[in-house]
Structure 1
């Protein structure tokens, strides 16, 4: 880490005192409070202020720290909670539930953190049979493209799509939250570390050697409890 930087919590507190001195509450979240910080990690800070009418997000650099600040009032965060619940990616609830409190006037954050924790514990909505079949079809379509392709450039992008679709399927059918980018792997690990290791190794082997069998096997394994691959008889909008 940059030796000239303040420690994350101290830097975040200074940021709040300079930029949001009248805010009601603030939370430091993200990699720096989860023990997963890297040289390029930023400070994710959620601010609650009665002086704003609508939420916003802003990126700044303060004292050598890149900072992402998410500003809400005591009403606006609720619509983000609901949006995150519907898309099954609980970004804001996770930040609030797992973050470190920097400021908490009149104890307002206690109820908000509890709301976030309850949302996380409840998990996403159960997929309908129709949704499962739609997802099976598109995974099958990507898998067929992957198997049949002899164009390495195209295969790479098909493999990426297949990995995302399959990871989403295994998580959602097991009532788990999903993620994007690095949160895909983190979400998979929270679900099942052994499966995640097999999943990552299968795709890593393909990227390194071009061998497809392990990827095909793990995708079929994920689909099997729900009827396997789906093509014949599938319809959409009929």
Structure 2
């Protein structure tokens, strides 16, 4: 897209780095402007690597006509974030590093990018049978609330909960990365575009018409290979 009344994002990112982090050893520009998905409200996601920092931090600024989110790390702190993102199956920083355009590199970025790419390619850890059982119960509980509710305001938020729980279940039981907000849809499409479209259509039908049937069918189809809904006999913390 054209950036009306704004500097080119790469030019703006270079100016920002030169002014605020002139002594860093590495820097990347990531996010929607790199993926070609920028909108009028997109910001610049900039990742900094500076060996002189004591700890990592994140900061939001407006510079050179752009909203800028800067993620600042030393040469080891990013590893903790990689590990944390891996554990929660939401690889925010590894994805930024993997897709990012290198703006500055003092012979460190190849190794850091390789770490990110290896993590992304390996995928998140497989869910245990106990975790799958727990998630089936939570989905069943939300689905029962959804089916039984007749209060529109409550239905809307139960549907939101179902969408998050079910999308997580589908992706994690197939050892795929998950996301939040817009990244739920992106993660589903990356996994299976046809399924993602069916998922979106089922929830869109409910939100626009109040028809719950497609969501109910979708959830039951997803749970069926894992034993279906789970309520009877479920326990948690019982000695």
Q: Which runs of 5+ in 1 are unaligned?
A: none
Task: Provide runs of 4+ in structure 1 moved above 2 Å.
Answer: none
The 2-side partners of 1:217 and 1:47 are apart by 46
- Quote how far apart the aligned CAs of 1:15 are: 0.5
Residue 66 of structure 2 aligns with which residue? 65
Task: Give structure 2 stretches of 5+ with no counterpart.
Answer: none
Give the match for residue 96 of structure 2. Answer: 95
The C-alpha deviation readout for 1:38-89, integer Å capped at 9, x for no partner, is 1100000000012211000000000210000000010100000000000000
1:190 alignment counterpart:
190
> Where does 1:35-50 land on structure 2 (aligned, <5 Å)?
35-50=36-51
- Provide Cα deviations, 1:147-174, integer angstroms capped at 9, x if missing partner: 0000000000000000000000000000
For residue 234 of structure 1, report the CA deviation from its aligned partner: 0.5
| RMSD, aligned CA | 0.7
Give the aligned partner of residue 83 of structure 2.
Answer: 82
2:173: which partner in 1?
A: 173
Q: Map Cα deviations across residues 169-217 of structure 1 (whole Å, 9 max, x no partner).
A: 0000000000011000000000000000000000000000000000001
Partner of 1:125: 125
Q: State the alpha-carbon separation in 2 of the partners of residues 15 and 178 from structure 1.
A: 31
Deviation, 1:4, is 1.4
1:146 Cα offset (Å): 0.3
3-state DSSP of counterpart to 1:21: coil
Distance in 1, matches of 2:135 and 2:123, equals 19
Secondary structure of 2:42 counterpart: coil
State the distance in 2 between where 1:143 and 1:9 align. Answer: 46
Give 1:3 shift. Answer: 1.6
Distance (whole Å) between structure 1 residues aligned to residue 226 and residue 30 of structure 2: 37
